Chains A and B, each alone.
Chain A
C-alpha cells in the first residue's frame, strides 16, 4: 500500500510538470458566492506558481494561465475552490461558505487538530446540532449530545445546571468541569449566549485533558465562539416560549381533608360531634371551590429571547461578529424571574500572513429574582410547603389580608408559602466583563507564537428582603446586601512548530501560562425591618457585616508533541507542570503526563476494500489533577468575629478559636485515566461513530474532614480513592440522503460505574453532610467503600409489623414497635435498633440522547429524546405528605388504606411515627424525555427580496416524560444543605427531592431572519 501511494504521488508530480509546459493565454472570470453575489477581494492563484491576482469590486479578475492550469480561489470564510482552466477563456467560480470548517477541525486546547487526527476522547458538539432547539442555556445544548457528559437540569430560571464528565471524582470538593472559552479559563456557561457558540468540545480522557493539568480532572469544556465571514449579514433570532408545570402530586383535596379532620375529631369519645371543626356548609363550599396550593404556587412562565448579530468580513481580512442578546424568563414558580443581557464582539484581523490579532469582548448582566434556594429550606422548599399546606386555609381572609398560619394549626407548620414569595424580593445582579486579546505571529511558515491575554471581572450584588413570618414576631424578615467582586487575569504564551517530513508529521506545542484570581465579599445583613422593600431598610437594630477576600494564582509550563506517520500511526505525548498557590511551597508543583497512540486502520488494504471507510483505534493514558480547595486550605486558621459578653451586652470581648488545622503535606488530587477507543465509519462516512472504554482512578482526593478525634476542627487531607469506569458510545448517520428529503440521526449513550474504593483511617463509611428536612440532624447521604458517591443513607423499610409478628425486643425487653408501626430492618447487634444502611443512589448509571433531524424540501423536523437510567430519587415530598418534616397532618390519598387490626396493610397505622429517612421514599428515577420536538419552515432564498434566509418554527420542549417517578421530575435535584446552612456537594446530594423546581413543559414559537 505504501508503494502504491508513493507511486500515485510520483504520477501526480509528473502530470504537474507536464502542465507547466503548456502555452499560456489570458483568462478572465468572475467569483461569486452561492447566492450569486460577486465576491470582491478574493485571491485567485495559479496552483503551484506565484502568479495570482485579486478580484475587483465586481468580483472580476483576469490573469494569464495555460489550459491545464488549476486556479485556486480563496477568500476568508469560504472553502478554497479549485478550477481547471481548460479551454474556456471566461470562467465563473462559485465559492461555498465554509460552514464545515469547524466540523473538520477539533479544538483540543492550545491548538486544533483535524478530527481524523485525534488520539484522545473528545466529544464535539457543533452549533449545527443544537441550532434546531430554541435554547437559552448552553448546558441544554450539551445534554444528550455528547457521550460521557451528563447534564442534570433545573426548571428554575437562571439556576446553575450540573454538568459532569465521566462521573464524579471528588467526595467533598467540586466536580464541575473546567470551561475554557476561546482559550481563556473559567468561563461560566450560564452567562454565554448559545447563539454565539460555533462549537463545543468536551475533553474526556486523560490523554486529552492532561494539557489542562491540575484543572483537568473533572473534564474540560472548550467553547469556540463564532467569527464573522463573508458578506456582512444581519441575523435576528427571536423566540417566545410558554412554560407550564402540568404534573400535580396527588394529595387530599380540601373537602377530603376537612372530612378526615372531622372523622378524627369524632373518633375521640370525649369530643362532641357537634363541635366538629368543619361544618357541612364549609365542606360543601370547599367541595365547590377547592383550594389548590400547587396551582397557586405555579404559574405560566414565559421566555422572551431576542438576539441580533452582525457578522462578516471585509476585504482587508477584518472579520467581525457582533451580537447582542436579551432574554427575559418568567419562571413557573410564582415570582421567580431571570433576565440576561449579553453582548459579544469578536474582531479579528489578519494583517499579513505572518501576523494576526483578535480581540473578543463580552459583557453580560444577569438578574435573578426570588431564586428558590435563596429562601430557607430547612422544612423543604416553598413548593413542598405548598403541597403540604392546610388545604382548607385560603391565601387571604375575607378582608383580603394574608392568612399567616393554618388557623387550626394543621398540616404544614410554617407560614403561608404564597405570602412568603409574594412579599419577598430577593434579587441578585451579576455583571461580567471579559476582554481577551489573541495575537499570533508566524515566525516562519512552520513556527508560530501565540499570545493570549485576558482579563475579566465579575461584579455581583445581592439586594434581598425575604419575608417569612408574622410582623409581631422576631425573625419575620431578613435583609441582606452583599457585594461580590472577582477579578482574574490569564496570560498564555503558546509556541507551535509543525512540519511534515515526507510521511512524518510533527507538531510540537510549548506553553508558558499564568493565571490569578482575587475575590472580595462584603456582606451586610439586618432583620425585622417593618418596611415595604429593600431600599427602605436603613439602620437595622441588628447589624452584621463581614468582609473576606482571597487570592489564588497558578503558574504552568506545558509541552505537547504530536506525531503521525503518513496518517496511519499517531502518537501524542504531553506533560504539564503546574505550581499552585493553594499548596504549601514544597508540594505545590505537580506534573501531569499523558500519552496516547492511534492507528488509522482504514489505511490498511484489508479495510480499504471493505464497506468500512473509517476505522481508527485509539488508546491513551494520562494523569490529571485537581486543586479545588479554598485559597487557605493548607493553613491552620482561627475563627474571626467570635465574641462573648460577660455582662450580657455591655462589654464585648473578642475571642479566638482554632477552626481548621493546617496540613503542610497537602498536595494535588490525581486522576489516572486509561481510555481505549475505536472510531468507525461506513459508506464514506454516512454512518460513523465511536466507542470508548474508560477507567479512572482518582487518588489522594482532597477531602475536607474533621480532624480524626475532633468534633469541630476541620482539615484538608489527601485521602481516599474513587473509581469511575464506563463506556461512551456515539453513532451518527445520514439515514436518508435524497435531494429533497434527508434524515440525519445522532445517538449517544454512556454508562458509568462510580465507586468509592477507599476512605481514610481504615473507615468503611463516613456519614455524609446532607441534612434532612424538618430540623433533624439526620444525614441523607453516606460515603461508603464499594458504593457510589451520592449514596442514600437511611433505614430499610419492610412494610408494617403485623399482629401475628414476633416483634423483637430491646435489651430491656420492651418491644421495639407495636403492630401497625412501620417495620424496618433491625440491627440485632445494636439493641435491635433500626439499622442505618445504603438505600439507593442518585447517580445515573446510564444516560443517552437521540437527536433526529428530518428535512423535506423547505420543512425541517427535529426530534430529540434523552434519558437517564439506573438511579434513585429520595422523594422526601412523598414522605412529608404523610407527616413529619414540618407537616402535622396526613395528606396523602392512601389515608384510608392505613393499617388497622382488621385490615393489616403495609401502610403504617394512623398516628404511628413517620420517618423521612427510609427506603420507603426512595423511588426509581429512570426517565425518557422528549426534550425537543421542532417543526420549521425555511423560505426559499429568493422568496422575499432582500432577505437571505427566513425560518419560522414551532417547538415543544419536554413534550413528554416517561417515568415511574411519582414526583414532578426525577431529573432535578433539590439544593440540599449541610448543618451550617451551606449548600452541600451537589453530587453527595444528587437525587434528593425536597420540592425541587421541576422542568416545565414548554411551547416555543420562533423566527430566524438573516439579511
Chain B
C-alpha cells in the first residue's frame, strides 16, 4: 500500500514525539525489578539473643502464648468429667459432653486444640531457652536476671507438661523449639520426673518474690514452684503411678510453702467470696496467676481477655452461652452456708430456665453485678493454684503419709472456718474437726472448696474415686434428671484421655 508518510508536519511531530517517549520507556525503565525484599518491613527472629532486652521480648512472648493457650474453657475441658460441672445437653458442646459422659474419643477436638496449644507454648518456651544459652556466663549480661528469666521459662514448661500429663498420662517431652517429628511418649516416670526437674530448676533460680509485680505471683517466684511441686507429688502418689512415698514429699513441700508464705507474699483471703470479684483478681491467695485483661483495663484489644467466665456460665435465657453449668446433685449436696452462696448463683431460678434447667456457678458468672453478664471477654485472672490448696494438700498428704500433726488439722480447719464465713485463724468448735480420717476429710473439703474450678475431676482421678462419685451422680426419680447421663466406663482404664487422633496421624509413634 502506498502512503505519504510525512505529508502533515504536525502529524510527523506527534509520531516523532511518541516514538521518543517509547524509546525513553524502553531504555530508562528497564531495570526496576527489585527482587530483594526490604528487611525493615518485617520482623526476623534472632538466631540467638544478643541481650537481655531481646530475651525479655521472648519471655513476654512466652507469657502471651501461655495466656492465650489457657484463656478458653478448652484448656480445662477434661475437667467436665467431674461431678461438679456439666454442659448443655445439645448445641455445640459435644466435646464437653464427651468428658461429662465419660466417653472421650480420640477425635475430641478440644483435646486436640488443647494439645496443640500446649505444645505450641512449649515450643515457644524451648525457643527462648535455646536462644538464651549463649548469654550464660557472658560477663556483659546480668546473670541473676538471666537465670530469673530462664527460671520463668522452666516454671511455665513444668506446669504445661503437668497440665497435659494429668489428662493423657504419658506424653512426649519436647525439650527443643523444633522437636523431632517422630518423638515418642515418655514413660510416666519420665514425665513426672521432667516436671519435677523443671520446677526444681525454677525454684532454684526464681527469687522469693518477683520484683514489681502485683499480688498473686503473676510472674512466678520460688514459692510458686515449690507449691506446684507439692501438687505434683500429690498426683505422683496417686493414680496412675501410685508411688505413695511421694505423699511425704507433698506434705513437706506444702509445709515449706506454708512456712515461707509471707516471704513469697502468699496467704488466705479473709473471705472466700472475695476471691471471685474482679477487684481482687490479684490476691495473695493465688500462688501463680495467669493474667488477663480487656480494653476496659487499658489493654489495646481483647486478645488476652479471659473467655471462660461471665456469659459462658449462663443459660441462653439470660443471654448466656450454655457452656459451664453446675450439676444438680452436687449442688443439692453442697453444704449450706457462706461458701455455697458464693459458689453458686442462688439468686437465679434455675429450674425455670428454658435453655437448660441447671444451676449456675457464681465462680463462673462472677458475683451478682460484678462482671458484665453479657460479656464473654473478661479481665478475670486464673488462679492456677490457690493457697487453700496448699493447706488442704498438707492436711491430705499428712494423712496419706501417716504423719498427722496438729498443724495438719489446723490447715484443714482454716478452710472449714472460712467456708462458714468465720475468721479462718480463730479456732471455732462449731466447725473445727480434730478427729477422723484426715485424708478423707481434706479430700471432701477440696470437693466443696474447689467446685467449678476445674479441679474436682483430677482429684477423683488421683484418688481413684471416679466410680464412687459418678455412679451416684443422679438423684433417683428427680423431677429434673442430670442432662448428660454417663455412657462410658467409670473404671481406671477410662481415666486418661486418648492422645488426639490427629496428633497420632502426624506421628504414629504417639500410638504406643
Q: Is A52's beta carbon under 8 Å from chain B?
A: yes
Q: Is B58's beta carbon under 8 Å from chain A?
A: yes
Which of B22, B32, B294 neighbours the largest number of chain A CB atoms within 10 Å of its CB? Answer: B22
A-B contact pairs, 19 of them (CB 8 A): A352-B5, A352-B15, A355-B15, A441-B19, A451-B22, A473-B311, A541-B295, A543-B295, A632-B42, A635-B42, A648-B293, A649-B294, A652-B299, A655-B60, A655-B63, A658-B45, A658-B177, A712-B124, A811-B493
| Pair A886/B92 contact, Cβ less than 8 Å | yes
Q: Is A944's beta carbon under 8 Å from chain B?
A: no
Partner among B34, B319, B502 whose Cβ is within 8 Å of the Cβ of A473: B319
Q: Among the listed stretches B252-260, B300-308, B431-439, B453-461, which one makes contact with chain A, having 4 or more residues with CB under 8 Å of it?
A: B300-308
Q: Known: A472-B374, A776-B109. Contact between A554 and B33, CB under 8 A?
A: yes
- Find chain B residues with CB under 8 A from A713 CB: 120, 123, 177-178
Complex CA–CA separation, A453 to B23 (angstroms): 12
Q: Is A84's beta carbon under 8 Å from chain B?
A: no
Question: Which 4 pairs from chain A and chain B are nearest by CB?
Answer: A649-B297, A473-B374, A655-B60, A777-B109
- Find chain B residues with CB under 8 A from A581 CB: 33-37
Minimum CB distance partner of A778 in chain B: B109
Minimum CB distance partner of A774 in chain B: B92
Which residues from 95 to 124 on chain B have a C-beta closer than 8 Å to any C-beta of chain A? 95, 103, 105-107, 109-110, 112-113, 115-117, 119-120, 123-124
Shortest Cβ gap from B157 to chain A (Å): 15
Q: Among the listed stretches B136-144, B192-200, B211-219, which one makes contact with chain A, having 4 or more residues with CB under 8 Å of it?
A: B211-219
Partner among B15, B33, B292 whose Cβ is within 8 Å of the Cβ of A516: B33
| Pair A645/B299 contact, Cβ less than 8 Å | yes
Which residues from 554 to 599 on chain A have a C-beta closer than 8 Å to any C-beta of chain B? 554-555, 579-581, 585, 588
Minimum CB distance partner of B174 in chain A: A709
SS class of chain A's interface: helix, strand, loop or mixed?
Answer: loop
Which of A777, A810, A812 neighbours the largest number of chain B CB atoms within 10 Å of its CB? Answer: A777
Q: Mark A272-293, 1 if CB is under 8 A from B, else 0.
A: 0000000000000000000000
- Find chain A residues with CB under 8 A from B113 CB: 777
Q: Is A834's beta carbon under 8 Å from chain B?
A: yes
| Pair B58/A709 contact, Cβ less than 8 Å | no
| Pair B181/A761 contact, Cβ less than 8 Å | yes
Q: Known: A646-B214, A646-B291. Contact between A814 and B92, CB under 8 A?
A: no
| Pair A656/B57 contact, Cβ less than 8 Å | yes
Q: Known: A405-B316, A631-B37, A658-B127. Contact between A884 and B45, CB under 8 A?
A: no
| Pair A834/B105 contact, Cβ less than 8 Å | yes
Q: Is A653's beta carbon under 8 Å from chain B?
A: yes
Minimum CB distance partner of A580 in chain B: B35
Q: Mark A345-389, 1 if CB is under 8 A from B, else 0.
A: 000000111010100000000000000000000010000000000
Q: Is A549's beta carbon under 8 Å from chain B?
A: yes
Complex CA–CA separation, A886 to B304 (angstroms): 26
Minimum CB distance partner of B298 in chain A: A649
Q: Is A775's beta carbon under 8 Å from chain B?
A: yes
Q: Mark A703-716, 1 if CB is under 8 A from B, else 0.
A: 00001111111000
Minimum CB distance partner of A491 in chain B: B29
Complex CA–CA separation, A650 to B298 (angstroms): 6
Which residues from 56 to 110 on chain B have a C-beta closer than 8 Å to any C-beta of chain A? 56-65, 67, 90-92, 94-95, 103, 105-107, 109-110
Q: Among the listed stretches B342-350, B376-384, B401-409, which one makes contact with chain A, having 4 or more residues with CB under 8 Å of it?
A: B376-384
Shortest Cβ gap from B450 to chain A (Å): 23
| Pair A763/B15 contact, Cβ less than 8 Å | no
Complex CA–CA separation, A652 to B300 (angstroms): 8
| Pair A470/B374 contact, Cβ less than 8 Å | yes
Which residues from 493 to 537 on chain A have a C-beta closer than 8 Å to any C-beta of chain B? 493, 512, 514-516
- Find chain A residues with CB under 8 A from B301 CB: 542-544
Shortest Cβ gap from A813 to chain B (Å): 7
- Find chain A residues with CB under 8 A from B123 CB: 710-713
| Pair B304/A883 contact, Cβ less than 8 Å | no
Q: Known: A652-B298, A767-B502. Contact between A270 and B479, CB under 8 A?
A: yes
- Find chain A residues with CB under 8 A from B374 CB: 470, 472-474
Partner among A439, A656, A763, A813 whose Cβ is within 8 Å of the Cβ of B22: A439
| Pair A647/B218 contact, Cβ less than 8 Å | yes
Minimum CB distance partner of A277 in chain B: B354
Minimum CB distance partner of B492 in chain A: A812
| Pair B36/A657 contact, Cβ less than 8 Å | no
- Find chain B residues with CB under 8 A from A543 CB: 295, 300-301
SS class of chain B's interface: helix, strand, loop or mixed?
Answer: loop
A interface residues, Cβ below 8 angstroms from B: 43, 45, 50, 52, 74, 270, 316, 351-353, 355, 357, 379, 405, 408-410, 413, 437, 439, 441, 451, 453, 469-470, 472-475, 489, 491, 493, 512, 514-516, 541-544, 549-551, 553-555, 579-581, 585, 588, 631-632, 635-640, 642-650, 652-658, 661, 707-713, 761, 763, 765-767, 774-778, 810-814, 818, 830-831, 833-834, 836, 883-886, 888, 913, 915
Which residues from 1 to 59 on chain B have a C-beta closer than 8 Å to any C-beta of chain A? 1-3, 5, 11, 14-15, 18-19, 22, 25-26, 29-38, 41-45, 56-59
Minimum CB distance partner of A812 in chain B: B489
Complex CA–CA separation, A470 to B373 (angstroms): 12
Q: Known: A581-B36, A709-B507, A830-B501. Contact between A812 and B120, CB under 8 A?
A: no
| Pair A409/B317 contact, Cβ less than 8 Å | yes
Partner among A45, A453, A656, A766 whose Cβ is within 8 Å of the Cβ of B2: A45
- Find chain A residues with CB under 8 A from B262 CB: none
Complex CA–CA separation, A579 to B31 (angstroms): 13
Partner among B41, B107, B180, B214 whose Cβ is within 8 Å of the Cβ of A648: B214
- Find chain B residues with CB under 8 A from A514 CB: 30-33
Which residues from 471 to 500 on chain B have a C-beta closer than 8 Å to any C-beta of chain A? 479-480, 487-489, 491, 493-494, 498
- Find chain A residues with CB under 8 A from B187 CB: none
| Pair B44/A644 contact, Cβ less than 8 Å | no
Which residues from 340 to 389 on chain B have a C-beta closer than 8 Å to any C-beta of chain A? 354-355, 372-377, 379, 381
Q: Is B414's beta carbon under 8 Å from chain A?
A: no
Complex CA–CA separation, A625 to B177 (angstroms): 33
- Find chain A residues with CB under 8 A from B120 CB: 710-713
Q: Mark B150-172, 1 if CB is under 8 A from A, else 0.
A: 00000000000000000000000
Q: Known: A473-B374, A711-B123. Contact between A551 and B95, CB under 8 A?
A: no
Complex CA–CA separation, A550 to B91 (angstroms): 42
Q: Is B282's beta carbon under 8 Å from chain A?
A: yes
Shortest Cβ gap from B33 to chain A (Å): 4
Complex CA–CA separation, A291 to B113 (angstroms): 40
Complex CA–CA separation, A437 to B19 (angstroms): 12
Complex CA–CA separation, A654 to B59 (angstroms): 10
Q: Known: A656-B45, A834-B105. Contact between A709 and B213, CB under 8 A?
A: no
- Find chain A residues with CB under 8 A from B115 CB: 711
Shortest Cβ gap from B225 to chain A (Å): 17
Shortest Cβ gap from A975 to chain B (Å): 20
